[in-house]
Amino acid sequence: MNFPSIPSIDLSAARQAEARQNSLTKPAGSLGRLEEISIQLAGMKANPLPSVERKAVIVMAADHGVALEGVSAYPSEVTYQMVLNFLHGGAAINVLARQAGASVTIVDIGVAADFDPALSALLRRKVAHGTHNMAAGPAMTSAEAETALAEGMDVLALVAEDGLDLVATGDMGIGNTTPSAAIAALLTGLPVHMVTGRGTGVDDAGLARKIAIIEQAIATNQPDPNDAFDVLCKVGGLEIAGLAGVMIAAASRRIPVVVDGFISTAAALIAVGLVPAVRDYLFSAHRSVEIGHQAMLNQLRLSPLLDLNLRLGEGTGAVLAFHLIEASTRILSGMATFAEAGVSDQP
């Protein structure tokens, strides 16, 4: 599969942003990561005074055949029901996106049920009615995985048509912490039990079953940990593939990506495995309570902006991080320099 080229980070713009940060009316470095974020954004966007006014969250929804193995506390029907909740504006992501001034795009890339054609707000990109049961064989065919990646790239292009400065990734799919944990184990090299958490709240017996099912899926499919596409096909998810496509397309357009939690970070591992330069355009929004999330962030060399004990998904943590990212740009562009304010910069 051919992917778009990713532009290099603009080091000149980053240096200009850093120089301005160091001339603002504050001790150099006193705003910590807010300064670092603005400098990173300048390099990503090739603009020494970057703006993130136009913000969007893309929520990919899909079901998982492995849910038949009892790896979730909720039935697969909840995926369909939650998509309807998103479309009616009643979910956490809707509330938080409104607060952040971000648009919300809901994508059916693999929900196991069909939606009413009258739901015009739903973006219909269904590749299949969920994945196959990865405990018994590959989750997807190569063609399905390629199509889902392509659909993700196309959705980003569509959302960016009228201009886009910053995009967050969101997910919905009952059972999707199971493929995400499988991806984490394979691409970090850690044992399954060290990266597998309770997801939607399974009990101790459910967690043990979930770990055993992931180990079975890996043993059955033998994914190549050095081949992100092979991992995606054998133990991934359609929404994970779609989000990886979103990240690749965004990076190709110099649009920074705010990666949400465990599922979105699994998608980031896939995206970076397929196109390593994508990593330069990623921010980690938060550290999830899922036990494997920190290992995934370590693998990507990303440091989360928030740690709020979140585990909802939907893009909620990423949209919360929008506020910090926007604050960093406003500090850079709106604060006076020592010269402008007539303040001495000598200690």
Instruction: Tell me the catalytic residues.
Output: 314
> Cα(56)–Cα(156) distance, rounded to whole angstroms?
10
Tokens at 25, concatenated: 């009316």
> Cα(4)–Cα(274) distance, rounded to whole angstroms?
11
Q: Which amino acid is at 147?
A: T
Of 132, 119, 126, 2, the closest CA to residue 60 belongs to 126
> Cα(280)–Cα(159) distance, rounded to whole angstroms?
21
Rounded (to 5) percent helix, strand, coil in the chain: 50, 10, 40
Helix (H, G, I), strand (E, B) or coil at 282: strand
Q: Which residue has the tokens 């991992």?
A: 231
Of 342, 310, 258, 323, the closest CA to residue 25 belongs to 342
Distance of CA 166 to the CA centre of its chain: 12
- Residues 272, 94, 75, CA angle at the centre, nearest 5°? 75
Q: Kindly report the backbone phi and psi dihedral angles of residue 167, in degrees, each rounded to the nearest multiple of 5, phi listed first.
A: -130, 140
